[in-house]
Amino acid sequence: MVNYSPLTIHPSPLINMFKHILASAGDINWMAIFALLTFFLLFVISGVTVFFKKKGFIDKMSNMPLDDATIEHKNNIA
């Protein structure tokens, strides 16, 4: 039967490639901090900008589905 070499795990070339890229980038804990900051910024910025949007613009956007520009005399619904 098979004789396996003990504990020689050979990761796939793709994973090796990722490992190499990230190893050269150093400590990857920055990713978690980056995610937290982005998350925080995303909510604050979208909240603030939404709050200050002009009423006219919001009204136009929210009415968009109601105006589909069809020509009613040609598409008369019975």
Partner 1 sequence: MLEKLITNKLTTNHLTYMSKIEQFSYDNTIVRKFAVATVIFGVVGMLVGLIAALQLIFPAMNMGMAETTFGRIRPLHTNAAIFAFVGNGIFAGVYYSLQRLLKTRMFSTALSNIHFWGWQTIIAAAAITLPLGITSAHEYAELEWPIDIAIALIWVVFGINMFGTILKRRENHLYVAIWFYIATWVTVTVLHIGNNLELPVNMWKSYGVFAGVQDALVQWWYGHNAVAFFLTTPYLGLMYYFIPKAANRPVYSYKLSIIHFWALIFIYIWAGPHHLLYTSLPDWAQSLGMVFSLMLIAPSWGGMLNGLLTLRGAWDRVRRDPVLKFMVVAVTAYGMATLEGPMLSIKSVNAISHYTDWTIGHVHIGTLGWNGFLTFGMLYYLIPKMYNTKLYSTKLADTHFWIGTLGILFYAVPLYWAGWTQSLMWKEFLPEGILKYGNFLETVTQILPMYALRALGGTLYLGSVFVMIYNLVKTAKQGDFISDEAAEAPAREVVAAHKGEHWHRWIERRPVQMLVFALVAILIGGMVEVFPMLLIDDNVPKIASVKPYTPLELEGRDLYIREGCLGCHSQMVRPFRSETERYGEYSKSGEFIYDRPFLWGSKRTGPDLHRVGGKYPHSWHYNHMLDPTSTSPGSIMPPYPWLLENDLNVSQTAAKIRTLQTLGTPYPTRYDEIAVEDLQKQANKIAESLKGEGIEQDGLEKKEIIAIIAYLQRLGTDINPGPQAGN
* Start-to-end C-alpha separation, the chain: 79
By CB under 8 A, residue 17 contacts partner 1: no
In contact, 11 and 19? CB cutoff 8 Å: yes
Please, which of residues 22-51 interact with partner 1 by CB under 8 A? 22, 28, 31-32, 34-35, 38-39, 42-43, 45-47, 49-51
In contact, 28 and 22? CB cutoff 8 Å: yes
Question: Which residue ranges make up the site for partner 1 (CB under 8 A)?
Answer: 1-12, 14-15, 18-19, 22, 28, 31-32, 34-35, 38-39, 42-43, 45-47, 49-53, 56-72, 74-78
